[in-house]
Each structure stands twice: as C-alpha cells, then as structure tokens.
C-alpha cells in the first residue's frame, strides 16, 4: 500500500514500516529538527493529494519542509530538540512543517489555511518555545526576513549618510560665504 501524504512515500498511517526504517526516519527527523528554529503543526484531515502537493510546493518555495509522520515517531524525534515543546500537539493526523525562516513558514501555512479550510493550524514551536495558532498568525503578519533586514540596514545607514551630508555642507557653506563676500566687495 503506497502512502499518499508521506515524505518520499515512506511513512503514513496504515502503512507498515519495519523497525529499521522507523529508526532511520526518527534519526532523519531529529537531525532536521535540531537544525530548525521553528515549526508549525497542522491537522490535514480532509485535504486531497493534490492540495497536499500544492502545500508542499508553497512551503518548499519558502524554504520549509513538511513531514507527515506517525505521532510516536515524531515524539521520539523531538527528544533533545526544540520541537519537544510542541509534543502535546502530536495527536491525530498531523503534518509538521519546519525550517529556519519562521515568518516565511507562518505566511505560507496561514495563506494556505485561508484558502483550504481542511488545514487547521494547531500550534508550533519557535526557538524551543511552544506557540499557539494565534501567535503563528501574528508571525505571518510580520514582514519577511529580507524586508526586515533592508529596513534595519536603512536605519543604520541613515545617521551615517546624514553625518556625511553635514560634513559636505561645511565646505559648501564656506565657499558660499566667500562668494558672498567677493560679490559684496565687487559691488562696493
């Protein structure tokens, strides 16, 4: 029986996986979650295969991975990672998105959930702390990382460019004063 929602077609509810495969899945998830700073847990019951594929593409464009995994394996993989904080969300059929860009992930998940009522965001984890669905929606309303960095860089450059304009104004003012004195002497 082939899994319709799994990552690489290896694991899903109702598909038998041997002990060695389960261990490798736990190890892979543990390694990925150890490197991730954020995650979103959502219930996907009612989504079609096509919709799930669309969600994966949207998340992939944001640099986010999505796993549908048995809850017991997710709990084992969460040990000693920041995802331990979201362990109580691992009940029922859940899809777990994870990555290093919390805002991009929250935006992609929230936008998809707006268009597809079957996807219910349950909560997540941010830097090892549990967050609820409302906090994920608040994250989604923030500007992207690139926009925030551009704003910060503009703020940092503003005082420097003002200082440079001020320094350039001193010689310019001196030249204008000399020209005014010259014009005044020529007129006299």
Clarify whether residues 111 and 148 are in a common domain.
no
Low-confidence ranges of the chain (pLDDT < 50): 1-13
Q: Please tell me the predicted confidence (pLDDT) of residue 6.
A: 45
Q: Which long-range contacts (CB under 8 A, 24 or more apart) does 164-172 make?
A: none
**CATH number reported for the structural domain that contains residue 31 in this entry:** 3.30.70.1730
The answer to whether residues 99 and 61 touch, using CB atoms and an 8 Å cutoff, is: no
The answer to whether residues 108 and 62 touch, using CB atoms and an 8 Å cutoff, is: yes
Clarify whether residues 137 and 105 are in a common domain.
yes
Clarify whether residues 52 and 115 are in a common domain.
yes
Q: Does residue 112 lie within any of the structural domains? A: yes
Q: Please tell me the predicted confidence (pLDDT) of residue 164.
A: 75
pLDDT in tens, 35-74: 888 999 999 988 899 999 999 998 998 889 998 988 889 9
**Does the predicted TM-score (pTM) go above 0.75?**
no
Q: Please tell me the predicted confidence (pLDDT) of residue 39.
A: 92
d(CA 54, CA 43): 16
Q: Does residue 133 lie within any of the structural domains? A: yes
Domain that holds residue 62: 7-142
> Helix and strand tally (H, E) in the chain?
6, 5
Clarify whether residues 59 and 134 are in a common domain.
yes
Q: Count up the domains in the chain and report the number.
A: 2
d(CA 162, CA 164): 5
DSSP element (H, E) containing 97: strand 94-99
d(CA 33, CA 100): 10
DSSP element (H, E) containing 79: none
């Amino acid at each position: 029986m082939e899994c319709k929602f799994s990552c690489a077609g290896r694991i899903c509810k109702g598909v038998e996986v041997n002990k060695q495969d389960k261990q490798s899945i736990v190890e892979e998830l543990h390694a990925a979650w150890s490197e991730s700073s954020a995650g979103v847990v959502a219930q996907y019951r009612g989504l079609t295969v096509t919709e799930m594929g669309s969600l994966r593409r949207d998340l992939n464009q944001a640099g986010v991975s999505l796993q549908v995994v048995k809850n017991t394996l997710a709990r084992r993989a969460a040990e000693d990672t920041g995802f331990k904080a979201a362990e109580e969300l691992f009940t029922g059929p859940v899809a777990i998105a994870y990555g290093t860009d919390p805002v991009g992930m929250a935006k992609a998940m929230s936008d998809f959930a707006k268009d597809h009522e079957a996807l219910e965001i349950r909560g997540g984890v941010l830097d090892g702390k549990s967050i609820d669905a409302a906090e994920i929606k608040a994250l989604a309303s923030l500007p992207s990382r690139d926009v925030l960095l551009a704003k910060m860089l503009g703020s940092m450059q503003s005082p420097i460019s003002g200082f440079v304009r001020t320094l350039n104004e001193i010689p310019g003012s001196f030249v204008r004063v000399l020209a005014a004195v010259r014009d005044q002497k020529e007129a006299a």
